[in-house]
């Protein structure tokens, strides 16, 4: 049987499923749904999810800086997740639907592995701060308008936000940043 990652087939481990309660023997952590008029599609919690649970790993082809730039500038493909210095993944799974928030509930356990930073209630949207792993070289800086509308919304987000001392994002996301980002923050003397 072929099932999606991060789902659990209860029948396969010998758990009886009450057909009156569960319509499927597969328990998933998230589902894809329209997120609203400003965000398009998003990922939402299919059940209560607890702090530090692994949610989903970014899957797709790994590309370098030049290919990432061509994908964006020539084809408008802006859904790339940085997983190393000068390495991005073009997501081919549901990670491409995870929206940005200035008050995210997801961080990283490792590069490309999303983990919860807090308890998340069923139905709540799963979000991450795009600046958590974007540390492009100076030739590839970007800034976009933020649409999250949270209390701490920055209005605009950029790949340089993680390095801005006044935002204190490195402290805010302590324990949830990929190793390659921590090395760059340390190299710049910010921690």
Q: Helix, strand, coil: what percent of the chain each, to 5?
A: 25, 30, 50
What's the whole-model pTM score?
0.81
pLDDT tens digits along 130-150? 999 988 766 678 889 999 999
Q: Pinpoint the alpha helices (H) of 42-178.
A: 65-75, 169-172
- Cα–Cα distance for residue pair 127/106, rounded to 1 Å: 6
| CATH superfamily ID and name for 7-187 | SET domain (2.170.270.10)
Residue 129 pLDDT exceeds 70: yes
């Amino acid at each position: 049987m072929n099932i999606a990652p991060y789902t659990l087939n209860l029948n396969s481990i010998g758990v009886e499923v009450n057909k009156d309660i569960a319509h499927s023997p597969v328990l998933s952590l998230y589902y894809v749904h329209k997120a609203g008029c400003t965000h398009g599609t998003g990922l939402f919690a299919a059940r209560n999810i607890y702090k530090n649970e692994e949610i989903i790993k970014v899957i797709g082809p790994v590309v370098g800086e030049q290919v990432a730039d061509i994908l964006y500038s020539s084809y408008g493909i802006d859904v790339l997740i940085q997983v190393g210095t000068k390495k991005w993944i073009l997501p081919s799974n549901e990670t491409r639907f995870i929206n940005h928030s200035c008050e995210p509930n997801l961080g990283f356990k490792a590069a490309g592995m999303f983990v919860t930073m807090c308890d998340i209630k069923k139905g709540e949207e799963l979000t991450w701060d795009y600046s958590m792993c974007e540390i492009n070289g100076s030739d590839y800086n970007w800034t976009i308008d933020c649409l999250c509308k949270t209390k701490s919304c920055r209005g605009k987000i950029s790949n340089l936000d993680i390095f801005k001392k006044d935002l204190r994002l490195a402290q805010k996301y302590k324990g949830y940043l990929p190793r390659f980002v921590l090395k760059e923050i340390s190299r710049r003397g910010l921690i």
